[in-house]
Amino acid sequence: MKVNNKHYRTIWPDPHNNRHICIIDQRQLPHEFVIETLTTGEQAITAIQEMHVRGAGLIGATAGFAMFLASMEAPELDFTAYLTSFAEMLGNSRPTARNLIWAIDRVLAAIDDIPDIAEKRDRAFTTACAIADEDAHFCKQIGEHGLDIIKEISRKKQGAPVNILTHCNAGWLAFVDHGSATAPIYAARDAGIPVHVWVDETRPWNQGARLTAWELQQENIANTLICDNCGGHLMQHGMVDLVIVGTDRTTHTGDVANKIGTYLKALAAHDNNIPFYVALPSSTFDWKLDNGMAIPIEQRSEKEITTISGKDEYGEISTVTLTASGTKAANYGFDVTPARLITGLITERGVVKAEREAIHRLFPEHDAQRDTFSGRVMKKREQRKFIRHDSLHLLDYIVLDEQGNPGTYSMGRTIDVSVDGIKLETAIALAANTRLLITIGIEDDLVELEGRTTHAHPQDGRYISGVTFLKISRNGRRVLSKYVEAFRQRKRELQKKQEEA
């Protein structure tokens, strides 16, 4: 798409040196247009974690190029081990977006049966380029399929502008080109159909205010910025004809995880009989997940809610605090919209109902790829790598309801551990008697253990909970014993270093 009437993609190899991967640093938009160059795998991980790049498709494309950069850094004598370790770290950089793991697995599969290291590196590069090209092509096709929806609404309105509400940024900035939710809008513009877009600001990162509005302005699409809480009001007053959003992960049964606040827009649309569509390339489908409530929901820093950044009266970018000192905040990055609230999914192959049978008819090749995944926990590659340089303390946990169904996914920090339980530090409060599914592991020797909190209390802005494990299997006790010993050994080593210092 265009920036100041010049075509750009969101990520591309430097034509003079393909070991330099160029990205648009989206943290600087809309005030500055900055092109950043990634030259190492570590820089690519940082770019994903700190949201220099963001959005499902672009995260996947960046992951593909990150694997290529890592392949160039990998020592020939330890190539596979190095790349496997890097893939684990990269896979942990953002837990919700399905495209991240999909791209990593695709690069690893492409180079797996190649014996020559130089050829592996070449194949990693061509695969990364193919992922990016495919993403742009699929988004263009999404636009073509979504155009028919807008055409029909325009016909009913006898040519009056079609008012489309979108949430977050699922535009070309979230993909490689065209975007998902915006692709039908661009296609309608190109077809001569007048459209107007209501742009949700999308707190706390303000992707709508900062990115979607800017992107639409660059493309001369009529748009109006609204606060996140305004959408329902507009729908009630007949000012919205259609809602189109993107998705970071969609189950093969039609549940959708998208930026926090999407669920509320779906509820409002449902109550006002307004069609609610989700636009996505097929790389965003999770073919092994049955229940959207099992999708890991990223929790981010409190500061993203308690502060805000913008350009001040002197033209400088500055950050100000919105809240009283000591204010605690919970910053969930995504929510899940159940399939029953979704009118349809707009994919590169066409528009499909948000239901298992219809999705599998459109993508029949994925039936053979399904396994006995329980739908309750993550795949091993999506789990955290627990021993990291100087720490053995990060844990995944999922909150379970009384029926054992999964709820919120998050991470905690081990304060202390025994063969019977654990003391856990978390960013959010856990009530006493909360059931948890905690992943314990030593490198790749992982096990999920169910526990129940015995007590919980705030401490220095965090929350400390005691957890007693329930019904530990023989294998679970074996792994837990290893974890306890490794944790205590690491504590002894760190204490010794501190004493020597």
In this predicted structure, which of 42-56, 202-216, 249-263, 370-384 has the lowest mean pLDDT?
370-384
In a domain, 373, yes or no: no
Beta strands in 264-393 (DSSP E): 276-279, 285-286, 307-311, 317-321, 334-337, 344-347, 350-352
- The pLDDT, as a whole number, for residue 378 is 39
* Whether residue 364 has pLDDT greater than 70: yes
Please report, to the nearest 10 degrees, the dihedral formed by the alpha carbons of residues 437, 441, 446, 449 taken in order: -30
Residue type at position 279? A
Domain of residue 43, CATH code: 1.20.120.420
Q: Taking Cα atoms as reference points, which of 9, 10, 21, 16 lies closest to residue 70?
A: 21
The mean pLDDT of 344-353, rounded to a whole number, is: 95
- pLDDT band per the 50, 70, 90 thresholds, residue 277: very high
Catalytic, out of 248, 255, 335, 396: 248
Number of domains, the chain: 3
| Domain's final residue, options 110, 135, 160 | 135
- Is there a contact between 223 and 182 (Cβ–Cβ < 8 Å)? no
Cross-strand bridge partners of residue 453 = 467
- The pLDDT, as a whole number, for residue 252 is 94
Please check whether residues 328 and 257 belong to one and the same domain. yes
Higher pLDDT, 40 or 77: 40
Q: Which residues contact 142 (CB under 8 A, 6 or more apart)?
A: 178, 180, 183, 184, 279, 280, 281, 346, 347, 348
248 classed as catalytic: yes
- The pLDDT, as a whole number, for residue 217 is 95
In this predicted structure, which of 1-10, 136-145, 182-191, 369-378 has the lowest mean pLDDT?
369-378
Whole-structure pTM value: 0.69
In a domain, 375, yes or no: no
Strands 421-426 and 462-470: antiparallel
In whole angstroms, give the CA distance from residue 148 to residue 2.
24
pLDDT tens digits, one per residue of 167-184: 999 999 999 999 999 999
Does an H or E element contain 150, and which? helix 117-156
- pLDDT band per the 50, 70, 90 thresholds, residue 218: very high
In whole angstroms, give the CA distance from residue 405 to residue 384.
21
Please check whether residues 216 and 285 belong to one and the same domain. yes
Higher pLDDT, 283 or 247: 247
Please check whether residues 226 and 323 belong to one and the same domain. yes
* Whether residue 384 has pLDDT greater than 70: no
| Domain carrying residue 154 | 140-290+297-368
For residue 428, give the 3-state DSSP assignment. Answer: coil
pLDDT tens digits, one per residue of 14-43: 999 999 999 999 999 999 999 999 999 999
- pLDDT band per the 50, 70, 90 thresholds, residue 396: confident
